[in-house]
Structure 1
Amino acid sequence: MAEPRVRPFIVDFLAALAILLLLAGGGWWLAQRYVNSRLAPDPTTIANASLSGLREQNRLSAFAARFVAVVTSKQSQFGLSAERTTIMPGMVRYEVDLGRLSQRDVAWDGATHTLSVRLPAVEVTPPAIDLDAIRSYGSGGVLMTLTAARETLDAANRSAGQAELLKQARAAPMMNMAKDATRRAVERSFAMPLKAAGIDATVNVRFADDPVRNAEHWDVSRSLEEVLGNQR
């Protein structure tokens, strides 16, 4: 008859101690995870606060430029002719309607720590004409004296001048400069609060009328509307 084997007390003690340590370690890990989830800054909450702040600004103008239009109009009547040339300077501002931003336009990708922001297209405001700097000159004094040719030509030049100023302002190089300035301003608005909270994140801003270069990245990101909606 075989004698029963008796496990030494020290072996049982060490095994029990190991189990207790594992349980304690697991409990500490769970507790630490819970505390971190409660106390760690939430990037989506911070981004949503930044979004609300931007929307309160209503319109953002981060870029402006001054242009000069030179236009000429001619008129013939009674065998006579008149010509007027107008030099018209004006200031144009480039704006983004931040009131149109929504939570759907801001997406957080936790895997890459990237915040993607989609802005409305940049709008060009009507030119602010510098009336004191307008200069006009021309020829055909006889026709201007006999008729309202001067007033007619000046009115035509003012209309054509405004159209020319807008044409210059909407040229691709100017629009790109305006987008770059706006993009930098909005990126700072989102990046600074995240950095202050200790979150290392990259902020990418694009415009609604930009070609989509990385649709896949946007698709895997979760918009603030989705994230915050799930938390409610």
Structure 2
Amino acid sequence: MAEVQPPLQPQPQPNRPIASLVAAIVAIIAALVIAKIGYDKYSEKYVVERRDDGVAVDRIVRATFTGASALKVGSLSGTVQSTASDVRGFGMLSSDKVVKAPFSVDYFVDMARMGGADYRWDQQARVLTILAPDVTVGAPNVDESATSVSETRGLYVTRAAAEALARQVSIGARRTAEVEARKPERIAAARENARRALAKLLGAPLEAAGVGNVRVAIVFPFERSGTTERWDASRSPQEILANAQ
């Protein structure tokens, strides 16, 4: 006689309407957050802050403090000339602009990239060698508020053309200053000054501790290949200082 199987019990089904509702709520919240971030960025860049009477006001729109551990080791300064041209009205309205303004570019060494393994002590030669990161070039600073020359030529310079010319000369001045700052001879001068600054900074603890006859040597990354010198890299700078007597 065939065995009678009990009827199958229905399996509980997930509550799909509730799951769909939760997913929709999450999607709406994400969309609102993205929209808020986008609106804040748009307001920061393009919305003009005004008083109740409609007059625009001077104010800080956004300010962020960022910590830094870079040591300034040099600065290049001078005067930069920048030019720009603009053509509109089917070639009938041409204009150009030239400015001369003071500029400066700073050079840095990022001390935060240095760790204990970058300090090498040669007990026999009494040389503390520092494996320093290379010099980096900062962003050019062009003071357009102190221009010595600012000439705009053209039969009729529209407002849009004037804005385009001003933007072009600003970009051109920064680009020209950066090219000058990155020339090999400028980088070489910054490196040599960095050697002196780092040797003085890192040699000060030795002098303060009364440790004499110690030379501090600064070695940049491009100088390290093929070296045959042997260093004790097993000790921290504190241990080197304690045992340099």
TM bucket, shorter chain: 0.5 to 0.7
Comparing 180-189 and 124-133, the one that deviates more: 124-133
Counterpart residue type for residue 60 of structure 1: L
**CA 1:202–1:211: 2 relative to 1, 3 Å:** same
CA distance in 2 between counterparts of 1:207 and 1:158 reads 34
1:211 aligned to 2:223? yes
Q: What is the TM-score of this pair, normalised by structure 1?
A: 0.65
- Specify the alignment match of 2:150 in structure 1: 136
1:67-106 alignment runs, 5 A limit: 67-78=78-89, 79-106=92-119
Deviation at 1:108, TM superposition (A): 0.6
Q: CA-to-partner distance for each residue in 1:209-231, whole Å, 9 max, x for gaps?
A: x33376111xx1012xx1249x8
CA distance in 2 between counterparts of 1:141 and 1:69 reads 26
Answer 1 or 2: higher relative contact order, Cα 8 Å, separation at least 6.
1
1:175 aligned to 2:183? no
Paired-residue identity, %: 23
- Specify the alignment match of 1:124 in structure 2: 137
Aligned partner of residue 180 in structure 2, secondary structure: helix
From 153, 158, 172, give the equivalent of 2:170.
158
CA distance in 2 between counterparts of 1:181 and 1:57 reads 20
- Name whichever structure is richer in helix by fraction: 1
Q: What is the TM-score of this pair, normalised by structure 2?
A: 0.62
**CA 1:199–1:168: 2 relative to 1, 3 Å:** same
CA distance in 2 between counterparts of 1:195 and 1:136 reads 52
Counterpart residue type for residue 85 of structure 2: K
Deviation at 1:123, TM superposition (A): 1.3
CA distance in 2 between counterparts of 1:184 and 1:118 reads 14
CA distance in 1 between counterparts of 2:101 and 2:135 reads 24
CA distance in 2 between counterparts of 1:183 and 1:57 reads 20
- Specify the alignment match of 2:56 in structure 1: none
Counterpart residue type for residue 222 of structure 1: D
- Specify the alignment match of 2:125 in structure 1: 112
Question: Which segments of 5 or more consecutive residues in structure 1 lack a partner in the other structure?
Answer: 1-55
Aligned partner of residue 111 in structure 1, secondary structure: coil
**CA 1:228–1:172: 2 relative to 1, 3 Å:** closer
Please report the RMSD computed on the Cα atoms of aligned residues, expressed in angstroms.
2.4
Counterpart residue type for residue 77 of structure 1: R
Q: CA-to-partner distance for each residue in 1:15-51, whole Å, 9 max, x for gaps?
A: xxxxxxxxxxxxxxxxxxxxxxxxxxxxxxxxxxxxx
Larger Rg over CA atoms: 1
Q: CA-to-partner distance for each residue in 1:173-228, whole Å, 9 max, x for gaps?
A: 221221111110111223333244234222110222x33376111xx1012xx124
Deviation at 1:127, TM superposition (A): 1.9
Aligned residues: 168
Aligned partner of residue 73 in structure 1, secondary structure: strand
**CA 1:121–1:81: 2 relative to 1, 3 Å:** same
- Specify the alignment match of 2:232 in structure 1: 222
- Specify the alignment match of 2:37 in structure 1: none
